[in-house]
């Protein structure tokens, strides 16, 4: 059958997060029928900003997602300091073709959602997947409805339900022993503070303060430099030193009381209700696919936030899948193509997972010397990669 006569694949995606939405857009571009099932109603989207490094900016453009139209800020550089505020190194996360961006997670999500809707992907909200049968490629919703497809994609995040159908041994992400406070402060509030105003600068910059106890503070702006995004990563065991009857904000301030005074003034600008995230990790899975079921994003390779690559790697997965399941793919060819997808992606995703793990490994009492050599090597390996082109090469050299 000529490829133009082959009917499109009928694809079901579980989860409409960053990876699921990107996969929906990319697979619709190949002409496939795409239905997304998302358990939430998107009415209480939370989360602060995320960094989009050069390896994903170009991919988003090719998916028709212009993040600059959604308030993304172009990075003017990265500064890495000791916790006392001494500059350790500066870096530029820019390649010849793209610069790093900062974007509010909700803005990225809505940009992807608009692209998916424009591509006529079907998005079903408040649709919790309760069971899944890889053999019949069917899912059962909480409503009892059973839906079948040619291809099932599990894009259901860190605490994936679909993962158990691929790997029973490592199906649950485990606590990493660290947590992060995470919040935004309006930039005019930063500018009005006598000590913190040094962080209200015109050029969007990412700053990291690291210490030997495993604490790390990260800041960068978002929403056209109108808000400052702040993360305070820390080992959970340090919390034992702090009385638990304090508010999360008081705990955060006490936890970081020996950091540079300007940084402390910045943390003091947080609202009382600072949100806290526990970090989870999972060893590399032996595979991400079984028959016509595949995992992508955090479901396949949960990523700690130390490499700022979780969303990016999910989008690289999505693009790779769409190239390998290009228009004209026969349902019978899908299992081989999904194996090819795993082969094309897993080493890179595992490398990023391991880099993030190493960056986040420091525990109290450990001597952690910031290693700019390791960062620069990581940037070189990760930022100039073209996942789209790589998938095309993999397909060209495959027998299927
Ligand atoms: C503190 C922190 C900072 C981060 N910073 C960055 C950064 O700077 N840059 C970066 O690239 N990444 C960053 N990340 C990582 C990034 O957020 C994740 O890697 C990314 O969101 C993964 O996308 P995903 O689509 O795989 O999963 P998710 O975005 O988690 O989406 C999964 C979706 O599946 C849905 N779902 C789950 N179960 C079901 C079910 N049974 N039925 C139906 N739907 C279901 C969920 O509701 C959710 O919408 C950070 C993460 C954290 C925690």
- Dump pLDDT digits (tens) for 257-298: 999 999 999 999 999 889 899 999 999 999 999 999 999 999
Is ligand 1 within 6 A of the CB of residue 129?
A: yes
d(Cα 113, Cα 298) in Å, to the nearest integer?
18
Burial 114-145 (b: 16+ CB within 10 A, else e): bbbeebebebeeebebeebebeebebebeeee
At 244 the pLDDT is 77
Q: For the chain, which domains are there?
A: 3-73+103-173+282-361+371-396 (3.50.50.60), 176-280 (3.30.9.30)
At 52 the pLDDT is 97
At 362 the pLDDT is 76
**Mean pLDDT over the full length of the chain:** 93
Distance 129 CA to ligand 1 centre (A): 17
Question: One of 37, 81, 220, 306 is an active-site residue; which one?
Answer: 220
Question: Quick one: pLDDT band at residue 366, thresholds 50, 70, 90?
Answer: low
Is ligand 1 within 6 A of the CB of residue 277?
A: yes
**Statement: residue 238 has pLDDT above 80:** yes
Using an 8 Å Cβ cutoff, are 76 and 18 in contact?
no
At 41 the pLDDT is 84
The proportion of the chain whose per-residue pLDDT surpasses 70, expressed as a percent, equals 96
- Residue range 29-85, pLDDT digits in tens: 999 999 999 998 876 556 789 999 999 999 999 999 999 999 999 999 999 999 999
- Residue range 95-110, pLDDT digits in tens: 888 999 999 999 999 9
User: Would you say how long the chain is, in residues?
Assistant: 400
Strands (E), the chain: 10-14, 33-37, 49-52, 73-74, 78-82, 87-91, 101-104, 122-124, 129-133, 138-141, 146-148, 151-154, 174-186, 206-210, 216-222, 227-235, 275-281, 289-290, 293-295
Residue 220 annotated to the active site: yes
Residue 105 annotated to the active site: no
At 116 the pLDDT is 97
Question: One of 101, 105, 163, 182 is an active-site residue; which one?
Answer: 182
Is ligand 1 within 6 A of the CB of residue 19?
A: yes
- Residue range 141-197, pLDDT digits in tens: 988 999 999 999 999 999 999 999 998 887 899 999 999 999 999 999 999 999 999
At 92 the pLDDT is 87
Is ligand 1 within 6 A of the CB of residue 59?
A: no
At 45 the pLDDT is 57
At 376 the pLDDT is 87
Atom of ligand 1 nearest to the CA of 233: 1
């Amino acid at each position: 059958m000529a490829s133009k006569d082959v009917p499109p694949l009928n694809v079901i995606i579980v989860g409409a997060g960053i990876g699921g939405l990107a996969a929906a857009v990319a697979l619709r571009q190949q002409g496939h029928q795409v239905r997304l099932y998302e358990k939430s109603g998107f009415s209480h989207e939370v989360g602060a900003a995320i960094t989009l490094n050069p390896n994903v900016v170009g991919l988003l453009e090719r998916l028709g997602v212009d993040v600059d139209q959604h308030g993304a800020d172009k990075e003017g550089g990265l500064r890495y300091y000791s916790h006392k505020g001494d500059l350790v190194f500066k870096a530029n996360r820019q390649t010849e073709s793209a610069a790093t961006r900062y974007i509010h997670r909700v803005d990225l999500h809505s940009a992807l959602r608009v692209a998916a809707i424009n591509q006529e992907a079907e998005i079903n909200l408040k649709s919790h997947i309760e069971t899944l049968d890889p053999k019949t490629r069917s899912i059962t919703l909480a409503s009892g409805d059973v839906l079948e497809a040619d291809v099932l994609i599990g894009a259901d995040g860190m605490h994936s339900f679909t993962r158990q159908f691929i790997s029973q041994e490592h199906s649950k992400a485990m606590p990493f022993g660290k947590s992060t406070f995470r919040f935004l402060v309006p930039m005019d509030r930063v500018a009005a503070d006598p000590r913190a105003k040094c962080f209200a600068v015109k050029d969007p910059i990412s700053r990291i303060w690291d210490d030997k106890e495993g604490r790390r503070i990260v800041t960068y702006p978002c929403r056209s430099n109108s808000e400052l995004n702040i993360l305070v990563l820390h080992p959970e065991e340090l919390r034992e030193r702090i009385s638990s009857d304090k508010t999360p904000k008081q705990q955060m301030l006490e936890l970081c009381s020996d950091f540079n005074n300007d940084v402390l003034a910045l943390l003091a600008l947080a609202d009382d209700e600072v949100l806290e995230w526990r970090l989870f990790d999972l060893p590399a899975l032996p595979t991400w696919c079984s028959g016509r079921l595949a995992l992508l994003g955090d479901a396949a390779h949960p990523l700690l936030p130390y490499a700022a690559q979780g969303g990016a790697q999910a989008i690289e997965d999505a693009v790779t899948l769409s190239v390998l399941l290009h228009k004209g793919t026969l349902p019978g060819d899908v299992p081989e193509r999904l194996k090819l997808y795993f082969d094309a992606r897993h080493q890179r995703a595992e490398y990023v997972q391991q880099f993030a793990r190493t960056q986040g490994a420091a525990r109290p009492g450990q001597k952690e010397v910031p290693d700019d050599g390791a960062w620069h090597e990581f940037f070189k390996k990760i930022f100039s990669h073209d996942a789209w082109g790589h998938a095309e090469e993999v397909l060209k050299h495959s027998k299927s």
